[in-house]
Amino acid sequence: MGGFTLIHFLYLLQATLWTVVLTVLAFGLGSLAGFVVMLARTARTRWIRAVSMIYVDIIQGTPLLIVLFLIYFGLAVVGIELPALLAAAISLMIYCSAFLGEIWRGCVQSVPRTQSEAAECLGLTRWQTLTDVILPQAMRIATPPTVGFLVQVLKNTSLASVVGFVELTRASQVINNSLFQPFLVFGIAGALYFALCYPLSRLSRALERKLNVGRRQPA
Amino acid sequence: MSAAVSLRDVHKRFGEVEVLKGVSFDVAPGEVVAVIGRSGSGKSTALRCVNRLETIQSGEIEVHGRRVDDPALDLRALRRDVGMVFQSYNLFPHLTVAENITLAPRRVRKTPQSEARHIAVEALARVGLSDKIDAYPEQLSGGQQQRVAIARSLAMQPKVMLFDEVTSALDPHLTGEVLKVMEALARGGMTMLVVTHEMAFARRVADRVIFMHTGKVWETGAGEMLAHPQTPELREFLANGL
Protein backbone atom coordinates (compact mmCIF):
# COMPACT_ATOMS: atom_id res chain seq x y z
CA MET A 1 0.00 0.00 0.00
CA GLY A 2 1.50 3.33 -1.08
CA GLY A 3 1.50 6.56 0.86
CA PHE A 4 -0.33 9.80 0.35
CA THR A 5 1.43 11.71 -2.42
CA LEU A 6 1.22 15.08 -4.12
CA ILE A 7 -0.83 13.43 -6.87
CA HIS A 8 -3.47 12.50 -4.32
CA PHE A 9 -3.47 16.02 -2.93
CA LEU A 10 -3.86 17.54 -6.40
CA TYR A 11 -6.73 15.13 -7.02
CA LEU A 12 -8.42 16.43 -3.86
CA LEU A 13 -7.82 20.03 -4.92
CA GLN A 14 -9.40 19.33 -8.28
CA ALA A 15 -12.38 17.75 -6.54
CA THR A 16 -12.60 20.83 -4.31
CA LEU A 17 -13.01 22.84 -7.47
CA TRP A 18 -16.02 20.68 -8.39
CA THR A 19 -17.44 21.25 -4.92
CA VAL A 20 -17.18 24.97 -5.57
CA VAL A 21 -18.75 24.60 -9.03
CA LEU A 22 -21.66 22.65 -7.58
CA THR A 23 -22.08 25.20 -4.77
CA VAL A 24 -22.12 28.14 -7.18
CA LEU A 25 -24.55 26.38 -9.49
CA ALA A 26 -26.88 25.33 -6.68
CA PHE A 27 -26.75 28.65 -4.90
CA GLY A 28 -27.12 30.70 -8.08
CA LEU A 29 -30.12 28.77 -9.35
CA GLY A 30 -31.47 28.43 -5.82
CA SER A 31 -31.32 32.21 -5.34
CA LEU A 32 -33.40 32.78 -8.46
CA ALA A 33 -35.93 30.18 -7.39
CA GLY A 34 -35.80 31.46 -3.81
CA PHE A 35 -36.63 34.96 -5.02
CA VAL A 36 -39.72 33.59 -6.74
CA VAL A 37 -40.65 31.67 -3.56
CA MET A 38 -40.24 34.90 -1.54
CA LEU A 39 -42.52 36.76 -3.98
CA ALA A 40 -45.09 33.97 -3.78
CA ARG A 41 -44.93 33.83 0.03
CA THR A 42 -45.61 37.59 0.26
CA ALA A 43 -48.15 37.70 -2.59
CA ARG A 44 -51.50 39.42 -2.09
CA THR A 45 -53.39 36.48 -3.57
CA ARG A 46 -54.27 34.02 -0.88
CA TRP A 47 -53.94 30.78 -2.87
CA ILE A 48 -50.45 31.73 -4.13
CA ARG A 49 -49.35 32.22 -0.53
CA ALA A 50 -50.96 28.91 0.45
CA VAL A 51 -49.40 26.88 -2.39
CA SER A 52 -45.95 28.35 -1.78
CA MET A 53 -46.22 27.62 1.92
CA ILE A 54 -47.02 23.98 1.21
CA TYR A 55 -43.99 23.83 -1.11
CA VAL A 56 -41.73 25.31 1.57
CA ASP A 57 -43.08 22.98 4.25
CA ILE A 58 -42.57 19.89 2.10
CA ILE A 59 -39.01 20.76 1.08
CA GLN A 60 -37.98 21.86 4.57
CA GLY A 61 -39.47 18.71 6.04
CA THR A 62 -37.73 16.32 3.64
CA PRO A 63 -34.07 15.27 3.87
CA LEU A 64 -32.01 16.69 1.03
CA LEU A 65 -30.70 13.18 0.37
CA ILE A 66 -34.24 11.94 -0.36
CA VAL A 67 -34.79 14.82 -2.79
CA LEU A 68 -31.52 13.89 -4.47
CA PHE A 69 -32.55 10.21 -4.75
CA LEU A 70 -35.91 11.23 -6.21
CA ILE A 71 -34.26 13.43 -8.83
CA TYR A 72 -31.41 11.05 -9.69
CA PHE A 73 -32.93 7.57 -9.33
CA GLY A 74 -36.62 8.48 -9.47
CA LEU A 75 -36.48 10.40 -12.73
CA ALA A 76 -34.27 7.70 -14.28
CA VAL A 77 -37.12 5.21 -13.85
CA VAL A 78 -39.39 7.39 -16.00
CA GLY A 79 -36.65 7.71 -18.61
CA ILE A 80 -35.08 11.00 -17.58
CA GLU A 81 -31.46 10.15 -16.84
CA LEU A 82 -29.63 13.16 -15.56
CA PRO A 83 -25.85 13.42 -15.13
CA ALA A 84 -24.88 13.31 -11.44
CA LEU A 85 -23.78 16.97 -11.45
CA LEU A 86 -27.09 18.14 -12.88
CA ALA A 87 -29.16 15.97 -10.55
CA ALA A 88 -27.19 17.27 -7.56
CA ALA A 89 -27.48 20.88 -8.74
CA ILE A 90 -31.25 20.60 -9.22
CA SER A 91 -31.73 18.94 -5.82
CA LEU A 92 -29.67 21.60 -4.07
CA MET A 93 -31.50 24.30 -6.01
CA ILE A 94 -34.83 23.02 -4.70
CA TYR A 95 -33.38 22.86 -1.19
CA CYS A 96 -32.00 26.42 -1.48
CA SER A 97 -35.22 27.83 -2.91
CA ALA A 98 -37.28 26.76 0.10
CA PHE A 99 -34.81 27.99 2.71
CA LEU A 100 -33.73 31.20 0.97
CA GLY A 101 -37.37 31.98 0.14
CA GLU A 102 -38.24 31.76 3.83
CA ILE A 103 -35.18 33.72 4.98
CA TRP A 104 -35.92 36.48 2.50
CA ARG A 105 -39.64 36.50 3.25
CA GLY A 106 -38.78 37.22 6.87
CA CYS A 107 -36.43 40.04 5.84
CA VAL A 108 -38.95 41.61 3.48
CA GLN A 109 -41.65 41.44 6.14
CA SER A 110 -39.38 42.93 8.76
CA VAL A 111 -39.33 46.19 6.81
CA PRO A 112 -42.13 48.19 8.47
CA ARG A 113 -45.44 48.04 6.60
CA THR A 114 -45.60 51.80 6.81
CA GLN A 115 -42.72 51.97 4.32
CA SER A 116 -44.77 50.36 1.58
CA GLU A 117 -47.80 52.42 2.62
CA ALA A 118 -45.78 55.61 2.19
CA ALA A 119 -44.48 54.45 -1.19
CA GLU A 120 -47.92 53.49 -2.44
CA CYS A 121 -49.36 56.79 -1.20
CA LEU A 122 -46.83 58.50 -3.49
CA GLY A 123 -48.26 56.61 -6.45
CA LEU A 124 -45.55 53.96 -6.83
CA THR A 125 -46.64 50.62 -8.22
CA ARG A 126 -46.31 47.49 -6.11
CA TRP A 127 -43.24 46.43 -8.11
CA GLN A 128 -41.60 49.87 -7.79
CA THR A 129 -42.36 49.82 -4.07
CA LEU A 130 -40.64 46.44 -3.81
CA THR A 131 -37.54 47.28 -5.85
CA ASP A 132 -37.00 50.91 -4.79
CA VAL A 133 -38.12 50.88 -1.17
CA ILE A 134 -38.47 47.41 0.34
CA LEU A 135 -35.68 45.31 -1.21
CA PRO A 136 -32.83 47.80 -0.59
CA GLN A 137 -33.75 47.76 3.11
CA ALA A 138 -34.47 44.04 3.25
CA MET A 139 -31.18 43.17 1.52
CA ARG A 140 -29.15 44.75 4.30
CA ILE A 141 -30.96 42.57 6.82
CA ALA A 142 -30.79 39.51 4.56
CA THR A 143 -27.06 39.50 3.81
CA PRO A 144 -25.71 37.90 7.02
CA PRO A 145 -28.18 34.98 7.12
CA THR A 146 -27.84 34.46 3.36
CA VAL A 147 -24.07 34.15 3.58
CA GLY A 148 -24.54 31.90 6.59
CA PHE A 149 -26.84 29.66 4.57
CA LEU A 150 -24.28 29.54 1.75
CA VAL A 151 -22.01 27.70 4.22
CA GLN A 152 -24.73 25.09 4.74
CA VAL A 153 -25.12 24.64 1.00
CA LEU A 154 -21.39 24.22 0.52
CA LYS A 155 -21.23 21.49 3.16
CA ASN A 156 -24.35 19.79 1.83
CA THR A 157 -22.77 19.38 -1.62
CA SER A 158 -21.00 16.41 0.01
CA LEU A 159 -24.27 14.50 -0.38
CA ALA A 160 -23.70 14.50 -4.14
CA SER A 161 -20.99 11.90 -3.50
CA VAL A 162 -23.76 9.36 -2.91
CA VAL A 163 -24.88 9.51 -6.55
CA GLY A 164 -21.28 9.22 -7.72
CA PHE A 165 -20.48 12.83 -8.47
CA VAL A 166 -16.78 13.26 -7.78
CA GLU A 167 -16.59 16.28 -5.54
CA LEU A 168 -14.37 16.59 -2.49
CA THR A 169 -16.09 13.94 -0.34
CA ARG A 170 -16.32 11.39 -3.15
CA ALA A 171 -12.69 12.02 -4.13
CA SER A 172 -11.48 11.39 -0.59
CA GLN A 173 -13.48 8.15 -0.47
CA VAL A 174 -11.83 7.05 -3.70
CA ILE A 175 -8.35 7.79 -2.35
CA ASN A 176 -9.07 6.17 0.98
CA ASN A 177 -10.31 3.04 -0.72
CA SER A 178 -6.87 2.55 -2.21
CA LEU A 179 -4.66 3.91 0.60
CA PHE A 180 -6.78 3.05 3.64
CA GLN A 181 -5.58 6.01 5.65
CA PRO A 182 -8.95 7.43 6.70
CA PHE A 183 -7.68 9.82 9.36
CA LEU A 184 -5.23 11.43 7.00
CA VAL A 185 -7.41 11.50 3.89
CA PHE A 186 -10.69 12.60 5.50
CA GLY A 187 -8.74 14.94 7.76
CA ILE A 188 -7.36 16.71 4.71
CA ALA A 189 -10.82 16.77 3.10
CA GLY A 190 -12.25 18.27 6.28
CA ALA A 191 -9.51 20.89 6.34
CA LEU A 192 -10.29 21.83 2.73
CA TYR A 193 -14.02 22.20 3.56
CA PHE A 194 -13.07 24.27 6.57
CA ALA A 195 -10.80 26.49 4.47
CA LEU A 196 -13.79 27.29 2.26
CA CYS A 197 -16.42 27.63 4.98
CA TYR A 198 -14.56 29.47 7.70
CA PRO A 199 -13.98 32.70 5.72
CA LEU A 200 -17.67 32.69 4.75
CA SER A 201 -18.76 32.25 8.37
CA ARG A 202 -16.48 35.08 9.41
CA LEU A 203 -17.86 37.22 6.61
CA SER A 204 -21.41 36.49 7.76
CA ARG A 205 -20.56 37.48 11.32
CA ALA A 206 -18.73 40.62 10.21
CA LEU A 207 -21.70 41.66 8.07
CA GLU A 208 -24.01 41.13 11.01
CA ARG A 209 -21.88 43.34 13.25
CA LYS A 210 -21.74 46.00 10.56
CA LEU A 211 -25.51 45.86 10.22
CA ASN A 212 -26.07 46.31 13.94
CA VAL A 213 -24.12 49.53 14.11
CA GLY A 214 -25.39 50.70 10.74
CA ARG A 215 -28.20 53.05 9.91
CA ARG A 216 -31.33 52.45 11.88
CA GLN A 217 -34.99 52.88 11.06
CA PRO A 218 -36.54 56.19 12.00
CA ALA A 219 -38.63 55.83 15.14
CA MET B 1 -68.40 74.35 -6.79
CA SER B 2 -68.20 70.64 -6.02
CA ALA B 3 -66.32 69.41 -2.98
CA ALA B 4 -62.66 68.40 -3.13
CA VAL B 5 -63.34 65.55 -0.74
CA SER B 6 -66.72 64.21 0.20
CA LEU B 7 -67.75 61.34 2.46
CA ARG B 8 -71.35 60.09 2.43
CA ASP B 9 -72.59 57.72 5.11
CA VAL B 10 -69.30 55.85 5.27
CA HIS B 11 -69.23 52.60 7.24
CA LYS B 12 -66.02 50.78 8.03
CA ARG B 13 -65.55 47.62 10.05
CA PHE B 14 -62.40 45.88 11.24
CA GLY B 15 -63.73 42.37 11.75
CA GLU B 16 -66.53 42.67 14.27
CA VAL B 17 -65.69 46.21 15.33
CA GLU B 18 -67.42 49.00 13.44
CA VAL B 19 -65.08 51.99 13.60
CA LEU B 20 -66.96 54.31 11.23
CA LYS B 21 -70.74 54.36 11.71
CA GLY B 22 -72.08 56.50 8.92
CA VAL B 23 -69.56 59.32 8.57
CA SER B 24 -70.42 62.21 6.23
CA PHE B 25 -68.59 65.47 5.60
CA ASP B 26 -67.23 67.62 2.78
CA VAL B 27 -64.00 69.49 2.25
CA ALA B 28 -64.25 72.38 -0.22
CA PRO B 29 -61.31 73.16 -2.53
CA GLY B 30 -58.81 75.30 -0.66
CA GLU B 31 -60.44 74.54 2.66
CA VAL B 32 -58.56 73.39 5.76
CA VAL B 33 -60.53 70.95 7.87
CA ALA B 34 -59.23 69.71 11.22
CA VAL B 35 -60.54 66.41 12.56
CA ILE B 36 -60.27 65.99 16.32
CA GLY B 37 -61.37 63.33 18.76
CA ARG B 38 -60.16 60.66 21.15
CA SER B 39 -58.01 57.73 20.13
CA GLY B 40 -60.37 55.14 18.69
CA SER B 41 -62.93 57.71 17.60
CA GLY B 42 -62.28 56.71 13.99
CA LYS B 43 -60.64 59.95 12.86
CA SER B 44 -57.45 58.37 11.48
CA THR B 45 -59.44 55.57 9.86
CA ALA B 46 -61.67 58.11 8.12
CA LEU B 47 -58.57 59.86 6.79
CA ARG B 48 -57.04 56.59 5.58
CA CYS B 49 -60.23 55.73 3.73
CA VAL B 50 -59.93 58.93 1.69
CA ASN B 51 -56.90 57.63 -0.24
CA ARG B 52 -58.02 54.03 0.13
CA LEU B 53 -55.38 52.81 2.51
CA GLU B 54 -58.51 51.25 4.01
CA THR B 55 -61.49 50.01 2.03
CA ILE B 56 -64.99 50.75 3.26
CA GLN B 57 -68.00 48.45 3.63
CA SER B 58 -70.66 50.93 2.53
CA GLY B 59 -71.16 54.59 1.70
CA GLU B 60 -69.49 56.84 -0.86
CA ILE B 61 -66.19 58.69 -0.92
CA GLU B 62 -65.32 61.12 -3.68
CA VAL B 63 -62.08 63.01 -4.28
CA HIS B 64 -62.26 65.64 -7.01
CA GLY B 65 -65.09 63.79 -8.73
CA ARG B 66 -63.34 60.42 -8.50
CA ARG B 67 -65.23 57.67 -6.69
CA VAL B 68 -62.75 56.19 -4.19
CA ASP B 69 -65.06 53.30 -3.25
CA ASP B 70 -65.33 52.16 -6.89
CA PRO B 71 -63.49 48.82 -7.15
CA ALA B 72 -62.38 49.77 -10.68
CA LEU B 73 -60.74 52.97 -9.38
CA ASP B 74 -57.35 53.90 -10.86
CA LEU B 75 -55.62 53.79 -7.49
CA ARG B 76 -52.38 55.34 -8.69
CA ALA B 77 -54.22 58.27 -10.28
CA LEU B 78 -56.01 58.87 -6.98
CA ARG B 79 -52.73 58.81 -5.08
CA ARG B 80 -51.11 61.26 -7.46
CA ASP B 81 -53.85 63.70 -6.47
CA VAL B 82 -53.83 62.98 -2.75
CA GLY B 83 -50.69 63.54 -0.68
CA MET B 84 -50.37 61.95 2.73
CA VAL B 85 -48.15 62.66 5.71
CA PHE B 86 -47.93 60.14 8.55
CA GLN B 87 -47.37 60.31 12.28
CA SER B 88 -44.13 58.33 11.97
CA TYR B 89 -42.81 60.34 8.94
CA ASN B 90 -42.07 57.10 7.03
CA LEU B 91 -39.12 58.53 5.17
CA PHE B 92 -37.10 55.93 3.27
CA PRO B 93 -34.02 55.45 5.50
CA HIS B 94 -31.76 54.17 2.72
CA LEU B 95 -32.28 57.27 0.55
CA THR B 96 -31.04 60.85 0.96
CA VAL B 97 -33.48 63.69 1.45
CA ALA B 98 -33.26 64.56 -2.25
CA GLU B 99 -33.80 60.93 -3.27
CA ASN B 100 -36.76 60.62 -0.90
CA ILE B 101 -38.38 63.63 -2.54
CA THR B 102 -37.58 62.75 -6.14
CA LEU B 103 -38.32 59.01 -6.07
CA ALA B 104 -42.01 59.40 -6.89
CA PRO B 105 -41.56 62.19 -9.48
CA ARG B 106 -38.90 60.09 -11.25
CA ARG B 107 -40.77 56.78 -11.10
CA VAL B 108 -44.38 57.93 -11.41
CA ARG B 109 -44.14 61.12 -13.45
CA LYS B 110 -40.98 60.03 -15.32
CA THR B 111 -39.29 63.34 -14.52
CA PRO B 112 -35.68 63.33 -15.83
CA GLN B 113 -32.90 63.24 -13.20
CA SER B 114 -31.77 66.84 -13.84
CA GLU B 115 -35.27 68.24 -13.42
CA ALA B 116 -35.92 66.05 -10.40
CA ARG B 117 -33.11 67.73 -8.47
CA HIS B 118 -34.78 71.04 -9.16
CA ILE B 119 -38.06 69.70 -7.77
CA ALA B 120 -36.26 68.65 -4.59
CA VAL B 121 -34.64 72.07 -4.23
CA GLU B 122 -37.99 73.80 -4.63
CA ALA B 123 -39.88 71.49 -2.29
CA LEU B 124 -37.21 71.82 0.40
CA ALA B 125 -37.29 75.60 0.14
CA ARG B 126 -41.00 75.47 0.95
CA VAL B 127 -40.32 73.62 4.20
CA GLY B 128 -37.18 75.61 5.03
CA LEU B 129 -34.67 72.76 4.78
CA SER B 130 -32.65 73.63 1.69
CA ASP B 131 -29.38 72.88 3.48
CA LYS B 132 -30.37 69.27 4.23
CA ILE B 133 -30.80 68.14 0.64
CA ASP B 134 -28.04 65.52 0.76
CA ALA B 135 -28.55 64.36 4.34
CA TYR B 136 -29.95 60.97 5.30
CA PRO B 137 -33.14 60.83 7.38
CA GLU B 138 -31.30 59.53 10.47
CA GLN B 139 -29.18 62.68 10.48
CA LEU B 140 -32.26 64.86 10.93
CA SER B 141 -34.37 65.68 13.98
CA GLY B 142 -37.95 64.40 14.10
CA GLY B 143 -39.30 67.80 13.16
CA GLN B 144 -36.95 68.05 10.19
CA GLN B 145 -37.87 64.51 9.07
CA GLN B 146 -41.53 65.41 9.18
CA ARG B 147 -40.89 68.56 7.12
CA VAL B 148 -39.04 66.44 4.55
CA ALA B 149 -42.03 64.08 4.48
CA ILE B 150 -44.27 67.08 3.73
CA ALA B 151 -41.86 68.22 1.00
CA ARG B 152 -41.85 64.68 -0.45
CA SER B 153 -45.61 64.78 -0.67
CA LEU B 154 -45.67 68.30 -2.14
CA ALA B 155 -43.25 67.28 -4.89
CA MET B 156 -46.06 65.26 -6.47
CA GLN B 157 -48.18 68.43 -6.62
CA PRO B 158 -51.23 66.89 -4.93
CA LYS B 159 -54.61 68.57 -5.03
CA VAL B 160 -55.44 67.45 -1.50
CA MET B 161 -53.14 66.83 1.46
CA LEU B 162 -53.96 64.43 4.30
CA PHE B 163 -52.16 64.82 7.62
CA ASP B 164 -52.45 61.94 10.09
CA GLU B 165 -51.43 63.18 13.55
CA VAL B 166 -48.19 64.44 12.10
CA THR B 167 -46.94 66.08 15.29
CA SER B 168 -47.93 63.34 17.74
CA ALA B 169 -44.53 61.64 17.66
CA LEU B 170 -42.62 64.88 18.15
CA ASP B 171 -41.27 66.55 21.26
CA PRO B 172 -43.30 69.67 22.06
CA HIS B 173 -40.45 71.99 21.06
CA LEU B 174 -40.34 70.37 17.59
CA THR B 175 -44.04 70.52 16.80
CA GLY B 176 -43.93 74.28 16.19
CA GLU B 177 -41.70 74.08 13.13
CA VAL B 178 -43.98 71.46 11.52
CA LEU B 179 -47.17 73.37 12.30
CA LYS B 180 -45.62 76.51 10.85
CA VAL B 181 -45.00 74.72 7.55
CA MET B 182 -48.58 73.45 7.54
CA GLU B 183 -49.92 76.90 8.29
CA ALA B 184 -47.99 78.32 5.34
CA LEU B 185 -49.44 75.58 3.13
CA ALA B 186 -52.93 76.43 4.32
CA ARG B 187 -52.41 80.11 3.56
CA GLY B 188 -51.17 79.12 0.12
CA GLY B 189 -54.59 77.66 -0.65
CA MET B 190 -53.87 73.95 -0.28
CA THR B 191 -56.89 71.74 0.44
CA MET B 192 -56.06 70.04 3.72
CA LEU B 193 -57.66 67.40 5.88
CA VAL B 194 -55.80 67.36 9.19
CA VAL B 195 -56.25 64.79 11.94
CA THR B 196 -54.68 66.43 14.96
CA HIS B 197 -54.40 66.76 18.72
CA GLU B 198 -53.16 70.36 18.41
CA MET B 199 -56.23 72.30 19.50
CA ALA B 200 -54.54 75.67 19.15
CA PHE B 201 -53.65 74.81 15.55
CA ALA B 202 -57.17 73.60 14.81
CA ARG B 203 -58.64 76.77 16.21
CA ARG B 204 -56.26 79.17 14.52
CA VAL B 205 -55.66 77.59 11.12
CA ALA B 206 -58.63 75.36 10.29
CA ASP B 207 -61.60 76.82 8.42
CA ARG B 208 -63.70 74.12 10.00
CA VAL B 209 -63.31 71.63 12.83
CA ILE B 210 -64.91 68.21 12.94
CA PHE B 211 -65.17 66.47 16.29
CA MET B 212 -65.49 62.70 15.91
CA HIS B 213 -66.77 60.47 18.68
CA THR B 214 -67.42 56.70 18.66
CA GLY B 215 -67.21 56.46 14.89
CA LYS B 216 -69.52 59.39 14.11
CA VAL B 217 -69.22 63.05 13.31
CA TRP B 218 -70.40 64.42 16.64
CA GLU B 219 -70.03 68.14 16.27
CA THR B 220 -68.77 70.41 13.54
CA GLY B 221 -68.22 74.11 13.18
CA ALA B 222 -65.66 76.90 12.80
CA GLY B 223 -62.59 77.02 15.05
CA GLU B 224 -64.67 79.02 17.50
CA MET B 225 -66.62 75.88 18.32
CA LEU B 226 -63.69 74.79 20.48
CA ALA B 227 -64.34 77.78 22.75
CA HIS B 228 -68.07 77.04 22.91
CA PRO B 229 -68.63 73.29 22.69
CA GLN B 230 -72.28 72.34 22.23
CA THR B 231 -72.17 68.66 23.23
CA PRO B 232 -71.09 67.28 26.60
CA GLU B 233 -68.75 64.86 24.77
CA LEU B 234 -66.77 67.66 23.12
CA ARG B 235 -66.77 69.60 26.36
CA GLU B 236 -65.34 66.61 28.19
CA PHE B 237 -62.81 65.93 25.41
CA LEU B 238 -61.55 69.51 25.57
CA ALA B 239 -61.53 69.57 29.36
CA ASN B 240 -59.28 66.55 29.53
CA GLY B 241 -56.57 68.87 28.30
CA LEU B 242 -55.20 67.28 25.17
CB contact under 8 A, B90 and A217: no
- pTM for the full predicted model: 0.85
Interface test with A, best of B75, B94, B153, B154 (most A CBs within 10 A): B94
Residue A103 pLDDT greater than 50, yes or no: yes
Residue A154: which of A203, A108, A92 has the closest Cα? A92
pLDDT tens string A179-211: 999 999 999 999 999 999 999 999 988 888 887
Q: Does A49 touch chain B (CB under 8 A)?
A: no
**Which residues, including other chains, have CB under 8 Å from residue B26's CB and lie 6 or more apart?**
B3, B5, B6, B7
Q: What domain count does chain A have?
A: 1
Q: Which domain holds residue A206?
A: 6-213
Cα–Cα distance for residue pair A80/A97, rounded to 1 Å: 22
Q: Is the ipTM of this complex over 0.90?
A: no
pLDDT tens string A77-89: 999 999 999 999 9
Q: Does some domain include residue B10?
A: yes
CATH of residue B23: 3.40.50.300
**How many angstroms away from the CA of A115 is the closest CA of chain B?**
6
Cα–Cα distance for residue pair A50/B200, rounded to 1 Å: 50
Q: Does some domain include residue A153?
A: yes
CATH of residue A194: 1.10.3720.10
Q: Does B169 touch chain A (CB under 8 A)?
A: yes
Q: What domain count does chain B have?
A: 1
Query: Of A114, A123, A128, which has the smallest distance from its Cβ to B90's Cβ?
Result: A114
For residue A201, give the 3-state DSSP assignment.
helix
CA distances (Å), B73 to each of A162, B57, B109, in order? 58, 16, 19
Q: Does some domain include residue A87?
A: yes
DSSP chain B: ---SEEEEEEEEEETTEEEEEEEEEEE-TT-EEEEE--TTSSHHHHHHHHTTSS--SEEEEEETTEETT-TT--HHHHHHHEEEE-TT----TTS-HHHHHHHHHHHHS---HHHHHHHHHHHHHHTT-GGGTT--GGGS-HHHHHHHHHHHHHTT--SEEEEESTTTTS-HHHHHHHHHHHHHHHHTT-EEEEE-S-HHHHHHH-SEEEEEETTEEEEEE-GGGGTS--SHHHHHHHHT--
Q: Does some domain include residue A67?
A: yes
Identify whether the C-beta of residue B78 lies closer than 8 Å to the C-beta of residue B66. Answer: yes
Q: Does some domain include residue B207?
A: yes
How close are the terminal C-alpha atoms of chain B, in Å?
35
Q: Does some domain include residue A74?
A: yes
CB contact under 8 A, B79 and A114: no
Task: Give the residue-averaged pLDDT of A47-53.
Answer: 97
Q: Does some domain include residue B152?
A: no
Q: Does some domain include residue A108?
A: yes
CA distances (Å), B217 to each of B25, B206, B214, B220, B221, in order? 8, 17, 8, 7, 11
Q: Does some domain include residue B119?
A: no
Q: Which domain holds residue B78?
A: 5-90+159-239
Using a CB-CB cut-off of 8 Å, the residues of chain B touching A113 are: none
Q: Does some domain include residue A1?
A: no
CA B149 to chain centre: 11
**How many angstroms away from the CA of B84 is the closest CA of chain A?**
7
pLDDT of residue B174: 87
Task: Give the residue-averaged pLDDT of B72-78.
Answer: 90
Query: Of A114, A119, A137, which has the smallest distance from its Cβ to B94's Cβ?
Result: A137
Identify whether the C-beta of residue B68 lies closer than 8 Å to the C-beta of residue B53. Answer: no
**How many angstroms away from the CA of B119 is the closest CA of chain A?**
15
Q: Does A158 touch chain B (CB under 8 A)?
A: no
Q: Does A143 touch chain B (CB under 8 A)?
A: no
Query: Of A123, A140, A215, which has the smallest distance from its Cβ to B156's Cβ?
Result: A123
Q: Does some domain include residue A160?
A: yes
Residue B137 pLDDT greater than 50, yes or no: yes
Q: Does some domain include residue B107?
A: no
Q: Does some domain include residue B229?
A: yes
Q: Does B168 touch chain A (CB under 8 A)?
A: no
Q: Does A215 touch chain B (CB under 8 A)?
A: yes
Residue B135 pLDDT greater than 90, yes or no: yes
Q: Does some domain include residue A119?
A: yes
**How many angstroms away from the CA of A126 is the closest CA of chain B?**
10
